[in-house]
Amino acid sequence: MSTVGAYLRLARAGWILVREGVVAAMPGDQLEGMPRFGWRVAKLMSRRRSARRDRPERLAQAVNRLGPSYVKLGQFLATRPDVVGHDMARDLSRLQDRMDTFPEAQARTAIESSLGLPVEKLFVEFDGPVAAASIAQVHEARVDAGEARPRKVAVKVIRPGVRRRFQNDLESYFLAAHLQERFMPSTRRLKPVKVAETLAQVTKIEMDLRLEAAAISEIQENTKDDPGFRVPAVDWQRTGRDVMTLEWVNGTKMSNIDALREAGHDLDALARTLIQSFLRHTLRDGFFHADMHPGNLFVEDDGTIVAVDFGITGRIGRKERHFLAEILYGFITRDFRRVAEVHFEAGYVPAHHDVAAFAQALRAIGEPIHGQSAETISMARLLTLLFEVTELFDMQTRPELLLLQKTMVVVEGVARTLDPHFNMWKTAEPVVSDWIAANLGPRGMLNDAREGVGALVALVRQAPDLATRTERLSREIDTMAQKGLRFDPETAEAIGRAEARHSRGGRLALWVIAIALAAIAWQMS
């Protein structure tokens, strides 16, 4: 029955997207055959008033009707332009994660259930909500910290029933992804099921506030000596699965440029600090805040930038950091051949392609950059063009790099609102150069050699176990060669059950689709 529910929820979502004019706003003139016919039908079925809105407005209206899980889906897909296209990703990035608040009594119940103590024992004061989003809302409170006055804190509380709602809608997303892979073979390269799995993992992390608190704690430890940047401290005694308590941040939102200017802040210095901090987190730590829009950044009186809301974070491994640094350095020095070789060495571009041809494509990106003034060159635009070119050479989707690209676009955009003449390359050069010297120069070679020796020692320690396992595998292969591959009774029975479920599911799907079409026709009549 859960599959039936998924089909019905998917049909409802499709109907709302059609009625709000989202499908009609797609570039359907480029389609042919049945897809073009479907697009024409969708235009006829859309509401008349939707024609007066542009596509972002139609999208926002549809998502608001669909509920909080679709807001989160839209925000997630905004980080995947490879899946939805750059124009749609830009429209989705404008979705505002603002929802109605839920009653304070429900927040108190959630806190007491999560922490096992009455709210009155945890907080000296606990006030109403000050902000609400799709997954949680934030309350202002005060705690007794043994000081003259109670210390002000921010308390984030999970929205009641949100896990069940997300679980139901995630089932629909997986169904849509499987149908896409089955009936649209050209999209299999984009791995839609893998995209759905990533979304499921992201939402699971976001809905356990202990994990967000751990991310804040890790970044706080990484950045404790960084100039001009910090994150709020976590109150672990008042943090659980459904509640997280942080120090209250007194500062001006970076989105309020006029207030920053009136407070006497150096906007050019703030732009430099923001970009350099992000690059340090990315290259040095391999762990970065992946939602650094102006609403999540505050500036304190002394000019320190404080980041909040760590529900979305990104990680890139050592290989990816080498990849990113060498790409940036190669474009700066116009060594396009080396940039191409890095892609092949990392295994991002299949070996059957020609390195020289790929270097030629990269030159088409890099040469125009060197004909512009440095302050007009966008590093985010460079990465966008780079991913467009790599698609032509069958580069497989790299979600961690796409999340990095999306965050780079946002951070660079914030920097340019602070300083319209912002020089991205001059600002990034000290951080990138230091990282290259430490990791690709003599020091980096020594570190790699030390890690290689450590790996070799670990391999030697495992040699006896590896020999035993190899001998066992050899015997099993010999047995298979003599007697053939056989299933045990439990495996054969499981295969039979799975096949039966598949047949029943197919028949059930046809009935659900028929019922959904009948319901739509009834609503139109």
Active site residues: 291
Cα separation of 321 and 435, whole Å? 9
7, 84, 178, 260, 490 from 187: Cα distances, Å: 21, 11, 11, 46, 35
Contact 227, 273 (CB under 8 A): yes
Residues in the chain: 525
**Main-chain dihedrals φ then ψ at residue 5, nearest 5 degrees:** -60, -40
Cα separation of 160 and 84, whole Å? 31
Contact 245, 234 (CB under 8 A): yes
Contact 80, 195 (CB under 8 A): yes
Residue 265 makes CB contacts below 8 A (sequence gap 6+) with 252, 299, 303
Rounded-to-5 percentages of helix, strand, coil across the chain: 65, 10, 25
Tokens of 289: 């805040």
Sequence letter at residue 83: V
Cα separation of 77 and 177, whole Å? 13
Cα separation of 139 and 229, whole Å? 24
CA proximity to 377, closest of 434, 421, 339: 421
90, 172, 366, 404 from 377: Cα distances, Å: 20, 41, 11, 18
Sequence letter at residue 461: R
DSSP 290-305: S---GGGEEE-TTS-E
Contact 418, 424 (CB under 8 A): no
Contact 341, 323 (CB under 8 A): no
Virtual torsion, Cα 226, 231, 235, 238, nearest 10 deg: -160
DSSP 134-193: SSEEEEEEEE--SSSSPEEEEEEEEPTTHHHHHHHHHHHHHHHHHHHHHH-GGGGGG-HH
Cα separation of 349 and 346, whole Å? 8
Q: In the 3-class helix/strand/coil scheme, how is 154-167 assigned residue by residue? A: EEEEECCCHHHHHH
CA proximity to 4, closest of 370, 409, 507, 379: 507
- Strands 125-132 and 252-253, how do they pair? unpaired
